[in-house]
Amino acid sequence: MSFVGILVANRKQRKNVLKQYLQSNTMNLKLFCFTPSSINWKRKRIIGLHQSNGRWVIGDFPFPKVVYNRCYNTDQLLIERLGKVIGINKCFNHINQFNKQEIYTNLNKWLSDYLPATVPFDKENAVHLLKVHQELYFKPCYGHQGKGVIRAEMQATGEIHLGHHYFSPEIIFQDTQQFQESIESILGSTPYIMQEGIPIQQVDNRVFDIRALVQKNENGLWSVTNLVSRIATKDSFNTSIFDEVCISQEILDRLYPSDKAARIIRSIYDISLRSAEIMDENTAYHLGEFSVDFALDNNDHAWIIELNGKPQKSLYAGIRNQSAVYTRPMQYAKYLCKR
């Protein structure tokens, strides 16, 4: 039996995370959940939580054959030390906090037709881009879940409206000069990107996204596990603030004839798998899963909004028949154990 360790940020997370993967562990793997602080480097042992005869038990384990990282923004020195013990390619999703500009640059070589223009923040260029696109999103380079995202919209009057999370403005600038003088202090010292705004298709007057979960299987090959959609709270542009999660097919069937919905889904599958191939070309990453967030514009064209290196598994809790979400990482772990 092969030991597989699931790395989480703190002890409180161990039980809930492990429970999800134990239910889908049909690979004859011995799973345990551990935190960075539970590693004893001198003894080469790890204190971890596991299940034995239906009971939750704290155990003393050898280093596992494979580590599945579910700890966001992991210390890379820790990953390097783990790699020296278990092998550098035996820990997957070790980088799961993505640099949005770096991801854009990687994908843009092959998928430029599906990517909104994205550049590092620069206050002079911000004014130019606003005049060109009328709508801009300022996003932290390393942000997630919509935190710190600011939307700017240039009105026909020349006013610039700024808002967090919602379309209604929190700040109104009378002209580009006022905007330029203030935007730097609003964003602060955090590195930001600027992304072209897309006129997003809506359902029931609410924004929605399409999230493709891309995972490696028992043969180490990429596949799209599912497409789910988050329907944003009314008047919010941030789909991380949502009222409902459902299978994307349900929304697309409401908006389009079945043949058109099928074409959109096929396109999203193709783009997602191409994204995975491109991510694999960069040897700095070793991913077993990630998600791609798409938005459809008013011409039904799919745009990649961002990639997520630590897919939010809680999204699937209310959706039936989604055990593959948890099974696939275990299949990939089994594949790595054999290598």
Q: What does the mean pLDDT of the chain come to?
A: 94
- φ, ψ at 147 (rounded to 5°): -70, 135
Looking at the structure, do residues 137 and 104 belong to the same domain, yes or no? Answer: no
| Predicted confidence (pLDDT) at residue 59 exceeds the cutoff of 90 | yes
Looking at the structure, do residues 17 and 131 belong to the same domain, yes or no? Answer: no
The pTM (predicted TM-score) of the whole model is: 0.94
pLDDT tens digits for range 191-237: 999 999 999 999 999 999 999 999 999 999 999 999 999 999 999 99
| Predicted confidence (pLDDT) at residue 24 exceeds the cutoff of 90 | no
In a domain, 314, yes or no: no
pLDDT (average), residues 275-291:
95
pLDDT tens digits for range 152-163: 999 999 999 999
In a domain, 68, yes or no: yes
Number of domains in the chain: 3
Identify the CA nearest to 48 among candidates 137, 36, 153, 120. 36
Question: What span, in angstroms and rounded, lies between the C-alpha atoms of 150 and 138?
Answer: 5
Instruction: Report the CATH number that the domain containing residue 141 is assigned in CATH.
Output: 3.30.1490
Looking at the structure, do residues 261 and 151 belong to the same domain, yes or no? Answer: no
Q: Where are the beta strands (DSSP E) in the chain?
A: 2-7, 29-34, 39-40, 45-52, 55-62, 66-69, 91-92, 118-120, 135-140, 150-154, 160-164, 171-173, 192-196, 202-203, 206-207, 210-216, 222-232, 242-247, 289-296, 302-308
pLDDT (average), residues 281-291:
94
Looking at the structure, do residues 207 and 263 belong to the same domain, yes or no? Answer: yes
Looking at the structure, do residues 212 and 304 belong to the same domain, yes or no? Answer: yes
pLDDT at position 25 is 67
pLDDT at position 319 is 86
Range of the domain at 22: 2-89
Looking at the structure, do residues 107 and 240 belong to the same domain, yes or no? Answer: yes
Looking at the structure, do residues 247 and 279 belong to the same domain, yes or no? Answer: yes
Looking at the structure, do residues 249 and 105 belong to the same domain, yes or no? Answer: yes
| Predicted confidence (pLDDT) at residue 13 exceeds the cutoff of 80 | yes
